[in-house]
Amino acid sequence: MTDQPVDPRADPTPPRRPRPTGPIQYKGDDLEAERGPGLGCFRFQLVVLVVFIVLTPLSVAWNWPPPISAALLFAVILLLLVTGQTIIFLLRLVAADRRGRRRPLAGETKTVGELEDEARAPANDDPPPEAPPGP
């Protein structure tokens, strides 16, 4: 036990690592939109998933053979997995696209990031000093 007093207002959470500012990494490489599924693929997966979700309980109500109902149920589970992975990939693409600084559409005032950038940048408003007249 240490003899130092403990500040009850101190933040107990450990500090976070700074976020990398470069491109988002996916399996060790930069995330490329061209290499993964697109929005059309995702929409097709959703349509098939909805059809299977509706058809699975109806197959039981219509007294279809149990192996067909079971196959539909396993297909729904598989499609949930695939569709979930696709949406995660697409959300990473959106996050990678929004990584850079962007200005809010309705914002008329400067953002905090813009104010910080101005504070860091040297003031270039002053004219350069004139050279002394030489012989």
pLDDT in tens, 74-101: 999 999 999 999 888 888 777 766 665 5
In a domain, 74, yes or no: yes
pLDDT at residue 65, rounded to an integer: 96
Q: Taking Cα atoms as reference points, which of 37, 18, 10 lies closest to residue 93?
A: 37
Q: Can you say whether residue 63 is alpha, beta or left, with left for phi > 0 and alpha for psi between -120 and 50 degrees? A: left
Considering its fold, how many domains does the chain have in total? 1
Q: Which domain holds residue 72?
A: 67-99
In a domain, 71, yes or no: yes
pLDDT in tens, 11-33: 777 777 776 666 666 677 776 66
Give strand pairing partners of 133: none
